[in-house]
Structure 1
Amino acid sequence: MSGDNLREEQAIRRTTDHLVQVFAGTHSAEHVERVMQAAYRRFDGLPVRDFVPVMVERIARGELTAQVKAPAPTETAPAETAPAKAAPAEAAAPTAAALSDKSADVRPETTTAARPAALMAKMPSRKVLLPIGLAVAVVVVAAVVVVNLGKEEAPPPPPPLTIVRGVIGSEKKAFFEDPQVVRAFADKGVKVEVESAGSRQIATSMDLSRFDFAFPSSAPAGEYIQRKRKVSTKYTPFSSPMAIATFQPIADLLTTAGVVKQGPVPTFNIGHYLELVTTDAKWDQLTGNSGYRVDKDILISTTDPRTSNSAAMYLAITSYVANGGKVVHGATAEKNVLPLVTQLFTSQGYTDNTSEGPFNEYLTVGMGPSPMVWIYEAQFVDAATRGQIKPGMVLMYPSPTVLSKHTLVPLNASGDRVGRLLSTDPQLQRLAAEHGFRSADAADFAKVAADHQVSVATDLIDVVDIPSYDTLEHLLDSVGKSYG
């Protein structure tokens, strides 16, 4: 739905609510709504929409006012006088039911001003005719009533939406482009325009002066933006653990190799995986391999560590395991883990700037180029809600994993408004869950996963801390230099 259509429908809803209050003593809310909708349908298909809400309000108000003023016909009236007493009611606008039945035959340009004359023409001839002067007076009075109705003050137009611009991690792009999300923000008077980029790129190299908020995919990136921009406020409306998207033949093969453990959800042992990497193991060397016999290193495909947060999360986990199960801190620990974590990235060849790229390749190409892809859990669940997960696609959880906390940093009051809405508005929280994010209400996320038959980890237990922003940056910079 376009923004213009959305604003028009909002104006119609506000006008309907207003007329329900105005005619509360004479018409039911359902009747007022029927009259408004019948009037609105008259303008279907017209290309120029600027004044449609105003015209609909005038027509409906006229119809409802006429119905209030029209006296009800009396059953005991003599037959010869009944038509004369019913004339004012006939001259009044048709009821909502009649208007609904005949709305297809009424053109938008037809106005109530034409109706008295038309109805007079349709009246049966009488032996006793009204004096000419009286007939003229009736027409004049009707015209005056119509003119006065036309001059009634139109409802004020809806206030313009406040445009708020933000830069976001690419994994949230589908959420912000969802028409339901756009509508939910519009109902609050906000239009959010976003630009996507790698989360580390957002924190370190983007010109944030063009935006009202920055929304990277991790707490360290958000922390750095806060520090750089001297902002004390932040919002964490939802989160997502890191995960691995793979295929059933790969999961089965790695189960035999002792890397994957089957259960309610498959878990991927990072320690056993690093042992395969350090021995330069190839896929076709694994025992029982009949489904993926290729002479390639056993590696998880990631994004570019120089720009992307998901790659930084991969580095956080692998450096923790390589450091003997401890969060890396200090120059000595950094130096000890760098050779291995650097190999994990440089052995991959080309890597994409954002997580959107490798995951889209996973969805469309299959396991040929990338049998294992490092992703956010939310990406897999979101793809399932859109029917993109095919039979044989599998979601695995690394052990240990980290929780990527999507952190919104407001850069001004408008950005703060978006942060508060995302964190507190129940509709936006529910829509975030529908896009695979874990929001404040865990039941929302669990229901979405169950409805789309995605096996997810209900209890995230094996979660480790992320290194401090400075340590993570030292590691990422050192890995980046290895690319040459």
Structure 2
Amino acid sequence: MSVDTLREEQAIRRATDHLVQVFAGTHPAGQVESAVETIHRRFDGRPVRDFVPILVERIVRRELVEANREAGAGAPPEVTGDLHPEVAPDPRPATTEKTTSNAIGDISDTGGSRSPEVAGPARIQSAQVRGKGFLALIVVAVAVVAAVVVVVNTGQEETPLPLTTVRGVIGSEKKAFFEDPRVQKALADKGVRVEVDPAGSRQIATSIDLGQYDFAFPSSAPAGDRIQRQRHVSAKYTPFSSPMAIATFQPIADLLRKAGVVKQGAVLTFDVSRYLELVTTDVQWDQLTGNTVYPVRKNILVSTTDPRTSNSAAMYLAIASYVANDGTIVHGAAAEKTVLPLVSQLFTGQGYTDNTSEGPFKEYLTVGMGPTPMVWIYEAQFVDAATRGQLKPGMVLMYPSPTVLSKHTLVPFNASGDRVGRLLSTDPELQRLAAEHGFRSGAAAQFAKVAADHNVRVATDLIDVVETPAYDTLEHLLDGVAKSYG
């Protein structure tokens, strides 16, 4: 990308962000951004680029002001403000300004059609660009602007966007993503600095004071739905997702394969039904035939987080309850009562459990199979650890069969939180970086490449996926498990 092209894009970005702020009270940010993008595209292929950002800004600003007037809203308070820090205020008399505005307003495309992004509820009218008048427009604009503006030396650095600080509470598995300097820079380029506090996703939905945040970003749709209801918010974003998985060691996988729990295919799969048979019959590790790699006298259990606070444990509960309920999603008091003794045993038999998924996975990475031969995780955590060089030889990933897809759901509480949700969901760079942190996002090819580059075998097609129980049912089960702790 040339220096001139980069400078033009930066100027367009500054213009867009400022227009979003100026018209925040009358037009959604997405509508303003679409208007800028539509007008900017009409200058594609034109050889004279110096004044394109100024022309784009003026056309869009003029149309939004006209739309406000049609709607009876009048001009926004800051409509006379200058978007470009490198351009001095315009000293021309009103008559000259009117002439320039008319010249700009005559721009139209050859088809004369309206852009659906610019047209909207406020009936913003598209500017008309006539090919015959375009050269005249450039000549007039260059002459007028050159006569009245002061341009900063192009060799100097661009003035950075003023940053808006946005605070959020997130599931701990996304902490590394938000702490990545590349993610912080990508957000800063859009004028946003995001500060986050990690917590267990169920904590976020049930006990965290959300009044101090601009958004909440738990790791599941049920938690997000509860937050929406509590805060009376209709908007939500699901910028990425991650299937649940099990981090283990190759010797453990081989041992469980002999016991009929693990199957080797394109990826390792963990048969939850067979696993529950071992749990219900109290089979211990040292009772497995031919066990020379982990001959310890303790129950065969997957290490999880605390179900009273953590979403990942709730997802584990959702899978176990489905299998224990004869392959049917639990619904109703009778089914809850039937599965509760078994699923409670999966948690109480573990002893102490951490509040967030970061804790047990960190122990897996640093301590080894001694205390945690199998750890319940998000697939993204394993892929992210691989990209950081944290995996040791023999560490492998297994997919439970069935599994559930954890849909990371961002719930915005105000315009700033909504802006972060939109950026994470639509910005190509942020989507790419999410894939590099192991999340499945819109950048599916990038995710596959990241996994392949770091020798992580991931499931390309997630087929054996079940839905979680309804939120109220899941809460009843979690409350039942909590009571079993005594």
TM-score (normalizing by structure 2)? 0.68
Alignment of 1:262-281 (within 5 A): 262-281=264-283
Counterparts of 1:328 and 1:210, CA distance in 2? 35
Alignment of 1:56-135 (within 5 A): none
Per-residue CA shift, 1:70-121, capped at 9, x if unaligned? xxxxxxxxxxxxxxxxxxxxxxxxxxxxxxxxxxxxxxxxxxxxxxxxxxxx
Counterparts of 2:308 and 2:263, CA distance in 1? 32
Cα 1:156–1:383 change in 2 (3 A) is: closer
Cα 1:155–1:339 change in 2 (3 A) is: closer
Q: 1:456 aligns with which of 455, 458, 463?
A: 458
Cα 1:249–1:416 change in 2 (3 A) is: same
Per-residue CA shift, 1:354-385, capped at 9, x if unaligned? 00000000000000001000000000000000
Letter in 2 for 1:345: F
% identical aligned pairs? 79
Partner of 1:302: 304
CA RMSD of aligned residues (A): 2.6
Counterparts of 2:388 and 2:277, CA distance in 1? 37
Structure 1 gap segments, 5+ residues each: 1-9, 19-23, 26-56, 58-148
Cα 1:184–1:474 change in 2 (3 A) is: same
Counterparts of 1:348 and 1:366, CA distance in 2? 17
Letter in 1 for 2:402: P
Cα 1:267–1:155 change in 2 (3 A) is: closer
Counterparts of 1:401 and 1:155, CA distance in 2? 50
Partner of 2:449: 447
Q: 1:181 aligns with which of 180, 183, 187?
A: 183
Counterparts of 1:348 and 1:14, CA distance in 2? 54
- CA drift of 1:158 comes to 3.6
Structure 2 gap segments, 5+ residues each: 1-5, 15-46, 49-85, 87-150
Partner of 1:368: 370
Secondary structure of 1:445's counterpart equals helix
Per-residue CA shift, 1:186-206, capped at 9, x if unaligned? 000000000000000000001
- What is the number of residues matched between the two proteins? 348
- CA drift of 1:413 comes to 0.5
Alpha-carbon contact 2:248-2:374 (below 8 Å) kept: yes
Counterparts of 1:167 and 1:342, CA distance in 2? 29
Alignment of 1:157-168 (within 5 A): 158-168=160-170
Counterparts of 1:352 and 1:246, CA distance in 2? 18
Per-residue CA shift, 1:269-303, capped at 9, x if unaligned? 00000000000000000001010010010000000
Alignment of 1:340-351 (within 5 A): 340-351=342-353
TM-score (normalizing by structure 1)? 0.69
- CA drift of 1:483 comes to 1.3
Q: Kindly indicate whether residue 283 of structure 2 is the aligned counterpart of residue 246 of structure 1.
A: no
Q: 1:209 aligns with which of 199, 211, 222?
A: 211
Q: 2:357 aligns with which of 338, 355, 358?
A: 355
Q: 1:328 aligns with which of 310, 313, 330?
A: 330
Alpha-carbon contact 2:161-2:189 (below 8 Å) kept: no
Partner of 2:65: none
Alignment of 1:192-231 (within 5 A): 192-231=194-233
- CA drift of 1:243 comes to 0.2
Counterparts of 1:269 and 1:158, CA distance in 2? 53
- Which has a greater percent of helix? 1
Partner of 1:29: none
Per-residue CA shift, 1:147-180, capped at 9, x if unaligned? xx99xxx999544200000000000000000000
Cα 1:281–1:410 change in 2 (3 A) is: same
Counterparts of 2:391 and 2:280, CA distance in 1? 32
Letter in 2 for 1:360: K
Letter in 2 for 1:407: T
Cα 1:156–1:441 change in 2 (3 A) is: closer
Cα 1:395–1:155 change in 2 (3 A) is: closer
User: Runs (4+) of structure 1 moved beyond 3 Å?
Assistant: 154-159
- CA drift of 1:342 comes to 0.3
Per-residue CA shift, 1:366-414, capped at 9, x if unaligned? 0000100000000000000000111100100000000000000001100
- CA drift of 1:441 comes to 2.5
Q: 1:288 aligns with which of 279, 290, 299?
A: 290
Q: Could you say which structure has the larger radius of gyration?
A: 1
Alpha-carbon contact 2:161-2:190 (below 8 Å) kept: no
Secondary structure of 1:240's counterpart equals strand
Counterparts of 1:283 and 1:483, CA distance in 2? 24
Q: 1:396 aligns with which of 395, 398, 411?
A: 398
Secondary structure of 1:370's counterpart equals coil
Partner of 1:314: 316
Partner of 1:33: none
